[in-house]
Amino acid sequence: MREKDPVKTDRRMLFVFFAAAFGIPAFLSIFMGIGFGKGQDVSAFPMVWMFLPASAAMLSMLTAGPKRGGQGASEPNVLRQDSGADGALQDGPGPDCTAGASGGGTPALPKVFFLTFLGLTALMAVLAAAGVFLPGLPVMEVLNLLICISAPVCFLEMLCLKKERRRASGLLFSENAGKGLLCIALFIALYALICFLSVGVDILLGSAEAFSPNPYLWMYVSVLPVNLLLTYTAFFGEEYGWRHFLQPILQERFGKRRGVLLLGLLWGFWHLPLNLFYYSPQTGLQSFLVQIAGCVGMGVFFGWVYMKTRNIWAVTAIHFLNNNLGVTILGASPSGAVWSWSAVFLSILIYLAVYLPFLGTKEYQ
């Protein structure tokens, strides 16, 4: 039976998503702050953070979404937006929601995969919080092991799904794969441009020695593909929640450009506890401002990639590269950065100058 009031369904789903995606980090930040105050290593929390947006989206679809898999079943309207050949959002089920549906309905949710991912996230969150009060607990080792084990398990669970169910849930590996590879190559070029501009900025600020190359560069590069295969669930954890679930909703309600800019702001604010307790405890405000600019700018590019390809794995791979290329090339650590105001201003300028022009592409028309 068709959902009687899709607007109410949309609101329920959004409420569940925001309650989980922002409420759980707010709760975990209490434990993170306690651990930071004790002088403990809090690097387990950023790992957990990455799994929360997708978990929030899955929880929303499982608990507040309409029934799927039966005759005439359909998703709420804002979640049934898809892109046509010209990149424009289309009303109605679209190709992602109808192909191969039994009896003309939308294929059922991949509940086994969703529940596995949710269970993994819950276990990781508990371990991270417990580690604050049990300093001897090898939290990081256990979390890394869980992530590495979950990668093949989740892959096999998705592989066992019929193609129509993977497509309907935004999990299809081959969706516009050629375009996805081109977008990945474009991101690498843009990242190189940002590094080049950053080095130039650093020279202007008189601290170019900070950009010495990683002496183990080639070893790091050689293991990047293996690292991606073992840790993709973490980067999927952000992209499935932000790009697959929330971006179409915000763009439907506020327009393509304003929707993706709002998503970038939300994405940036979501990082706030990490800026304060992990990324840059000494200069948390400066780090947060750069985070906002980075999330708005990269959100525009990531959003463009997702609208162009409808392939969550292309955006997942790009997110992985964004988080790992700096470590690979420079040997830089993501934690403990100290930001000067001049570096903040110039970094914001670079992010916005490189990524905001994508708002002028046809995908955002």
User: Residue 287: inside a domain, yes or no?
Assistant: yes
Torsion sign over Cα 191, 192, 193, 196 = positive
**Is the predicted pLDDT of residue 353 greater than 70, yes or no?**
yes
User: Residue 180: inside a domain, yes or no?
Assistant: yes
Domain count, the chain: 1
At residue 212, the pLDDT reads: 62
Q: What is the mean pLDDT of residues 139-160?
A: 96
Q: Are 261 and 299 in contact (CB under 8 A)?
A: yes
Report the interhelical angle of 44-63 vs 111-133 (nearest 10°). 140
For 261-282, what is each residue's pLDDT tens digit?
A: 999 999 999 999 999 999 999 9
Band (152; pLDDT cuts 50, 70, 90): very high
Which of 343, 256, 231, 233 shows the shortest CA–CA distance to 308? Answer: 256
**Cα–Cα distance measured from residue 266 to residue 65, given in angstroms and rounded to the nearest whole number:** 22
Q: Are 99 and 266 in contact (CB under 8 A)?
A: no
**Is the predicted pLDDT of residue 163 greater than 60, yes or no?**
yes
- The number of CA neighbours under 13 Å toward the Cβ of 98 is 9
Strands (E), the chain: 82-83, 89-90
**Is the predicted pLDDT of residue 211 greater than 60, yes or no?**
no
User: Residue 1: inside a domain, yes or no?
Assistant: no
For 20-63, what is each residue's pLDDT tens digit?
A: 999 999 999 999 999 999 999 999 999 999 999 999 999 999 99
Structure tokens at 114: 């969703």
At residue 81, the pLDDT reads: 43
Out of 27-31, 74-78, 198-202, 249-253, least confident range: 74-78
Band (322; pLDDT cuts 50, 70, 90): very high
Whole-model pTM: value is 0.88
**Is the predicted pLDDT of residue 224 greater than 60, yes or no?**
yes
Classify residue 278 by its DSSP letter: I
**Cα–Cα distance measured from residue 298 to residue 319, given in angstroms and rounded to the nearest whole number:** 9
Band (184; pLDDT cuts 50, 70, 90): very high
- pLDDT, averaged across the chain: 87
Structure tokens at 65: 């979404």
Q: Are 236 and 320 in contact (CB under 8 A)?
A: no
Q: Are 281 and 336 in contact (CB under 8 A)?
A: yes
At residue 221, the pLDDT reads: 82
For 292-302, what is each residue's pLDDT tens digit?
A: 999 999 999 99
At residue 101, the pLDDT reads: 38
Structure tokens at 277: 């307790």
User: Residue 64: inside a domain, yes or no?
Assistant: yes
**Is the predicted pLDDT of residue 157 greater than 70, yes or no?**
yes
At residue 315, the pLDDT reads: 98
**Cα–Cα distance measured from residue 183 to residue 334, given in angstroms and rounded to the nearest whole number:** 25
- The residue length of the chain stands at 365
Domain range for residue 11?
Answer: 6-364
At residue 196, the pLDDT reads: 85
35, 49, 87, 250, 323 from 261: Cα distances, Å: 33, 21, 18, 9, 21
Task: Collect all residues with Cβ–Cβ distance below 8 Å to 319 and sequence separation of at least 6.
Answer: 235, 238, 239, 302
For 56-97, what is each residue's pLDDT tens digit?
A: 999 999 999 887 764 434 444 444 444 443 343 443 333 333
Report the interhelical angle of 111-133 vs 6-37 (nearest 10°). 30
